[in-house]
Amino acid sequence: MQNKICLVTGANSGIGKETALALAEKGATVVMICRDQARGEAARQEIIEQSGNNAVDLLIADMSSQQSIRQVAAKFQQKYDALHVLVNNAGAAFRGRQESVDGVELTFALNHLGYFLLTDLLLETIKASAPARIVNVASDAHKGANFDLDDVQLTKKYALFKAYANSKLANVLFSNELDRRLNATEDSGVTVNSLHPGVVRTNIWGGMIPLLGPIIRFIGRFVMRTPEEGATTSIYLASSPEVDGVSGKYFVDCAEKYPSRLAQDEDAARKLWEVSEGLCL
């Protein structure tokens, strides 16, 4: 990964931090996008110390805010003229229905539109850097999605797990549609893949079930993956020569797997793209 520039969102903790660390250890220039300056800077210093790589940068953005995403994309392009690996990782879940500053249901805004808009804003830079890779962290939770493309914001009936599963289905559909748009007629040199990291002990569980947080953390020590284990497939897709040229696929444990039937629906992917464009201000 020498001379490669990698951008990782949600990089101050969990899977994102472990992904950023591994890429830094491999010699890449790593740019972290984090929401909080203090936590992001602390994570950056830890990664520098553990990797022995000083080429670790920090940019601040709220990935649920379209203005913030546009600003961070512009800052990146001011500082860097190439982007070889984009890892879309930032995500969360919310108990009650909330809206982003743009008036979009917050789970969908952060977990899907954050991926969609940042990738779109940086896509010309990525294409000019080919061979390049886009890695989208999804989840097998997408298999439980009940997707109504006429109500992606769940205005009629909100439920936490439904919102989360739908957003993860959106990650897979977006990955597949982006691959078709990039590579259907000719090889663009840019690969796009999505993945399931496993059930991982991260901060997301506190947002999902805060009252059960201590219990989940205790049980999780025995049945959940560590963030380091959960980051394995993200790191593999971002850096392994084994997946050179592999695109439009879904991976679990560093192996290609089939996502749900709905996740393979090209019409649904195209409609989601149109809906997403309409929600981007």
Cα separation, 31 vs 61, in Å, equals 12
> Euclidean distance between the first and final Cα of the chain, in Å?
35
Q: At what angle do helices 266-279 and 160-183 cross, to 10 degrees?
A: 100
- β-bridge partners, 56: 30
**Beta strand pairing call for 29-34 and 5-9:** parallel
Enumerate residues 6+ apart whose C-beta is below 8 A from 36.
12, 60
Catalytic residues: 164
Cα separation, 234 vs 231, in Å, equals 5
Cα separation, 9 vs 90, in Å, equals 5
Helix (H, G, I), strand (E, B) or coil at 137: strand
Q: Which of 100, 103, 105, 207 is nearest to 156 (CA)?
A: 105
